[in-house]
Amino acid sequence: MVLLLLVCNQLPSYAQSENDMTNHSLILPLKTGKNPSVQWETLVIAPVNLFMQTQPITDTSPHIQLELNVVEDTNSYTTFLWYYGAANGGAKTNYPKAYQNYAFDLKIDTAEVALVVKKLTFEKALFLELGQTAVIGNLTLRFEDCISEWSTDSNGDQTDAFATYTISVSEAQEQQTLSFTSLETQGGNELALPWKSYKILVKETTEKAIKLMVFKNK
């Protein structure tokens, strides 16, 4: 029997009344379990459930998981923010997640966790999920599609597998679709996609999300 050590106490230094809200960012202290929703600008932000475990049951289980719901007018977005500790070969995250012109991040300090919401900016990494849109300044990016493909030899055996990604970029009345294959087939750790006065740096690729950084030429 595997015993999970769960961190179930409320976080000691944070209280829900201590939200740090400005015109540029929101810092929302969290406790394990369900947290109350918060209105910020046009968003209703609901940290539905925070789950923490110091010893995950498998190497693929996160140490910290936050289920997050965001509602804006009639539109809604649900995602998960994951943190994997250094015990699994180096700390790893799948955030900040981009939604419209907002970035949703986790701030972690020992056993204390806070949700940080900021406006998207250039030269900052973001994760853009399939079907979602990110707006940075006047630039709009949308992760349109991911198609998995493979090649076979004369015997019908699979010899290679890769994925083709499609994102649309637009500014004012100009729009273009950009396609690229998974980074493993590129032979490098990142890929630069130039468009107009921008450089879109692809840093990670999965079937469900891509990690990007966007630079604007000065």
List, in order, residues 6 or more apart from 2 with CB less than 8 Å away: 57
Our measurement of the distance from residue 123's CA atom to the centroid of its chain's CA atoms, rounded to an integer in Å, reads 15
Name the residue among 53, 7, 62, 54 with its Cα closest to residue 31: 7
Distances (CA, A) of 124 to 4, 30, 86: 35, 24, 23
Q: Residue 11: its pLDDT value, please?
A: 33
The C-alpha torsion from 115 through 121 and 122 to 126, rounded to 10°, is 30
Q: Which residues pair with 212 in a beta bridge?
A: 126, 202
Residues 186-194: what's their mean pLDDT?
85
105 pLDDT exceeds 50? yes
Q: Which residues pair with 147 in a beta bridge?
A: 164
**Are residues 115 and 20 both part of a single domain?**
yes
Q: Residue 218: its pLDDT value, please?
A: 78
Q: Residue 158: its pLDDT value, please?
A: 62
Taking only the tens place, the pLDDT of each residue in 165-179 is 999 999 999 999 999
Location of structure tokens 């955030």: 95
What sign has the CA pseudo-torsion 171, 177, 182, 186? Answer: negative
Taking only the tens place, the pLDDT of each residue in 7-63 is 333 333 333 335 666 668 999 999 999 999 999 999 999 999 999 988 888 878 899
The answer to whether residue 2 is domain-embedded is no
Q: Which residue type occupies 121? A: T
Write out the residue range of the structural domain in which residue 36 sits.
Answer: 16-119
**Of 119, 137, 154, which residue sits at a domain end?**
119
Beta strand 158-171 with 139-152: parallel, antiparallel or unpaired? antiparallel
- For residues 10 and 32, the answer to whether their CB atoms sit within 8 Å is yes
**Are residues 51 and 137 both part of a single domain?**
no
Q: How many domains does the chain have?
A: 2
159 pLDDT exceeds 70? no
The answer to whether residue 6 is domain-embedded is no
Location of structure tokens 């030899």: 153
The answer to whether residue 169 is domain-embedded is yes
Name the residue among 99, 33, 34, 91 with its Cα closest to residue 62: 91
**Of 57, 91, 119, which residue sits at a domain end?**
119
